Homo-oligomer: A and B are copies of this chain.
Amino acid sequence: MQLRRSDVVTGALTLLDTEGLDGLTMRKLGAHLGVQAGGIYWHFANKQALLAAMADRIIAPVATEPLPDAPWDAQLTELGQRLRHALLKHRDGARVVAGTYVIEPNTIRAGEQALRILITAGFPADRAAWVMAPVFYYVLGHTIEEQAQHAEGDWTERNSDEADPALQTAMTSMLSAAPSDRFTFGLNLFLDGLRHRLPHSPA
């Protein structure tokens, strides 16, 4: 039976979870789908196009679920949290999304949601995207690192000697903290900046 474009994306995401991004090859994907590697190129022009489709699928839940009726800052926080959770659902999800310049439908929709929140809240339309981009970079950057989980011993090892105790405290408290706490902290840092530019919304 035939392979649809969406089957290829689904198979690729399954393989992503078991092999990771670096282990995701067209040949392995072909084998997983019961097809020659070359066969995939009938459905996708190249690997990059497939990765873009995967990224869009990963982001889908962020664009789909309706936002709660809440103040703009709570809505924006919710969007950031949803994005992180969506990225965490697949191994290397953040790297996949970061690596593809996505102009697929769901990604566009998610971005439009963020812009609408900001514009409705009173941000000038010609600055809304300037605000959205940093939040997006932050969520991606944080989650990439969260998913990389490079053996945490590294830093402590390298710097066990010669270091300022305050700096030690700083690094240790970052490495030992729960990722979700650090994430929320950073997101709030951002929103403080935003709230500062805009009258706080009435609850």
Contacts and interface: CB of A to CB of B under 8 A. Distances in A.
Interface of A: 98, 101, 103, 108, 112, 115-116, 119, 125-134, 136-138, 140-142, 144-145, 148, 150, 154-155, 158-159, 164, 166-167, 169-171, 173-174, 177, 182, 185-186, 188-194, 196-197
A115 to B, nearest CB: 5
Number of copies: 2
9 contacts: A112-B164, A125-B169, A130-B185, A132-B170, A134-B141, A137-B137, A137-B186, A189-B197, A193-B196
Contacts of A182: 130, 133
Contacts of A126: 169-170, 173
B141 A186 contact: no
A134 B53 CA distance: 28
A60 B199 CA distance: 41
Given A138-B137, A192-B196, A197-B192, A130 B186 contact: yes
A137 to B, nearest CB: 3
B129 A173 contact: yes
B192 A191 contact: no
Contacts of A131: 189
A103 to B, nearest CB: 5
Contacts of A129: 170-171, 173-174
B125 A134 contact: no
A192 B170 CA distance: 22
